[in-house]
Amino acid sequence: MTGTGATTVGVWAGVALLGGVGSVLRFAVDRAVARRMARWFPFGTLAVNVSGAALLAFLGGLALGKEAALLAGTAFVGAYTTFSTWMLETQRLGEERQNWAAVGNIVVSVTLGMAAAALGQWAAQRIGQA
C-alpha cells in the first residue's frame, strides 16, 4: 500500500499468491486431521481455526509493516482459516440432531481459539523481547 491508500500490483499479486498458499495449507491440514480423527465432529476445521487464531495473534504481535501485515494476516491467514465452514458444520450437526456436538463445536472452538490467540500474542512478545 502507498501513502495515498492505493494498492500496488505487488500487493495484489502477494494477496493472490499467499491466499492460494493459505487455502492449500488449510485443505491439507483439514484432510490430515480428519483422516485421523472421528468423523462425528469437525476436528479438521477446529485444528485449522485454532492454529489460525494463534498464527494471526502471533503476527499481530510482531512489528510488521502495513503491507506485510496485510499479506500475512488478510491473505495467508484469512485464506487458511474458515469461519463459514465452522458455521456450516455446526448447523449440520444441529440438523442431524447432534445438539451436544453442535454446542460443543461452538464452545470448544471459541475457548481454544481464545487460548491459542493468547498463546500467539505471548510468543510474539517473547520474540520482541529477545
Mean pLDDT of 119-130: 89
Mean pLDDT of 113-127: 96
Is 45 part of any known ligand binding site? no
pTM: 0.87
With H, G, I as helix, E, B as strand and everything else as coil, classify residue 105. helix
Name the percent of the chain lying above pLDDT 70: 95
Q: How many CA atoms lie within 13 A of 60 on its CB side?
A: 15
Is 81 part of any known ligand binding site? yes
CB under 8 Å to 39, separation ≥6 — which residues? none
Residue 21 has pLDDT above 80, yes or no: yes
**H helices of 37-82, where?**
43-61, 66-69, 78-80
